[in-house]
Amino acid sequence: MSILIDRDTRLVCQGMTGWAGTFHTDRMVHYGTEVVGGVTPGKGGSTHIGLPVFETVREAMRATGANASAVFVPPDSAARAMIEAIEAEMPLVVVVTERIPILDMLRVREALVGSRTLLVGPNSQGVLSPGLCKVGVMATGRASVGHVGVVSRSASLTSKIVSQLTRVGLGQSTTVGIGGDPVHGIGFVDCLERFFADPETEAVAIVGEIGGTEEEQAAAFLARHGMPKPVVALVVGRHAPHSRRMGHAGALAGESEGGAEAKIEALRAAGVRIVPSPHLVGAVMRDALGAHKPQVA
């Protein structure tokens, strides 16, 4: 099994007719994702890369039965696209777009309250269930089918961690890029709950970084509810300077919060196995799974 996406995912791409939307939609189709159309205002009724284009998300859902959307809309229009999908009651919206203004994301967060939509991103590399479905821009070359769930704030490190897991023979059930922006959709806790409930996921790898409180929230959740499955975590940025943004808006550690060491200690105190370097994730996860399995007499 997997979380968030599977073989029954029917995807529409908002902004499909742009360069990024065209390129990545084509790659998702070739991976095996059931892409059923695109949404571009002003181009409804046309066809693009062999797929129908609709004027609105609601129209696309009505015509195709779509239950997920990938957003490739430019930053200045991305919030409007997300809110349109939320108002149309799209079950899952994955937002690849980065550098969306924080004020715009606050409007999106307000629209999510009480809605039926689950938002992943923005600034997300997407969601990948190997062999089943890909939504977004996540690399697939080193991914393999298996039983380790991965949830990550870092796009570049996600590929590294997936590669390390595959190298030691540990495939993935689902990999989720929650995005690194300070205001976003689902986080570590949401994904941990889903991975713990998924019978096919046997362990979870968390990839964190400086800035925000995602890692601390995950630690508090695990301390309260325990870990029915092994959890290992890599948190990068231990040597990053304080009060300087590193790469994107969410990666900024202040003098009193957001630093890597505090995040690491919070997770360690909750019982999480800490990985000191990206190249050791596979080995640490293999050991964690071995220690978790009951010994045969």
What is the DSSP secondary structure assignment for residue 278, as one 8-state letter?
G
> Which residue out of 242, 248, 279, 292 is catalytically annotated?
248
C-alpha 33/C-alpha 52 separation (Å) is 16
Say which amino acid occupies 79. A
Active site residue 147: no
Q: What is the 3-state secondary structure (H, E, C) of 46-101?
A: CEECCEEEECCHHHHHHHHCCCEEEECCCHHHHHHHHHHHHHCCCCEEEECCCCCC
C-alpha 206/C-alpha 272 separation (Å) is 10
Q: At what angle do helices 214-225 and 188-197 cross, to 10 degrees?
A: 40
C-alpha 232/C-alpha 285 separation (Å) is 7
By annotation, the residues acting in catalysis are 248
